[in-house]
């Protein structure tokens, strides 16, 4: 049996791809996150995010500008990704002779099988709100010659 495994471990900091709840352009070209539900709605509320606004001259909008210019937009975008796995099994000679074959093998290959990350965007590798993360694919096959 032969096999190959390729992983990628990347330690990085990134600017979170979505703008914060409360921003005028929050969710523009993308869906907003569920974090948006944890926002201030009335005086006295304790919430992670400020109230939402569409008013460009409000105190809330000014606070968003300060936030976007601070290190608060930085997030941990480190990740561990299992990029490729390839297993190749050659059948033994006894089995090959029994069925009158010269060669026989089974293989399975997988790409982008899983990613572990604390990053909340779609993909920590490209960090774009308009680009799909890499697709997962699994291929299996038989090789036989008589």
pLDDT at 108 exceeding the cut of 80: yes
Q: Which of 66, 53, 59, 50 is nearest to 24 (CA)?
A: 53
Give 108 or 37, the one with higher predicted confidence: 108
Same domain, 27 and 63: yes
Looking at every residue in the chain, the average pLDDT score rounds to: 79
Same domain, 108 and 69: no
Same domain, 135 and 87: yes
**Ramachandran class of 55: left when φ > 0, alpha when ψ lies in -120 to 50, beta otherwise:** beta
Whole-structure pTM over 0.75, yes or no?
no
Assess contact for 119 and 74: CB atoms under 8 A.
no
Same domain, 26 and 83: no
Q: What's the length of the chain?
A: 146
Kindly compute the dihedral angle of the four CA atoms of residues 108, 1, 102, 138, in this order, to the nearest 10 degrees.
0
């Amino acid at each position: 049996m032969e096999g190959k495994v390729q992983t990628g471990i990347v330690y990085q900091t990134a600017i979170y791809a979505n703008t914060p709840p409360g921003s005028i352009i929050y969710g523009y070209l993308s869906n907003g996150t569920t974090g948006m539900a944890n926002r201030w709605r009335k005086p006295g509320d304790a919430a992670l995010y400020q109230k939402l606004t569409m008013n460009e001259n409000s105190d809330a909008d000014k606070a968003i500008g300060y936030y976007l210019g601070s290190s608060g937009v930085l997030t941990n975008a480190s990740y561990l990704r299992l990029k490729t796995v390839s297993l190749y099994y050659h059948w033994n000679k006894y089995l090959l002779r029994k069925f009158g074959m010269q060669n026989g093998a089974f293989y399975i290959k997988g790409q982008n099988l899983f990613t572990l990350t604390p990053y909340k965007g779609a993909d920590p590798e490209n960090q774009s709100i308009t680009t799909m993360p890499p697709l997962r694919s699994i291929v299996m096959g038989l090789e036989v010659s008589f």
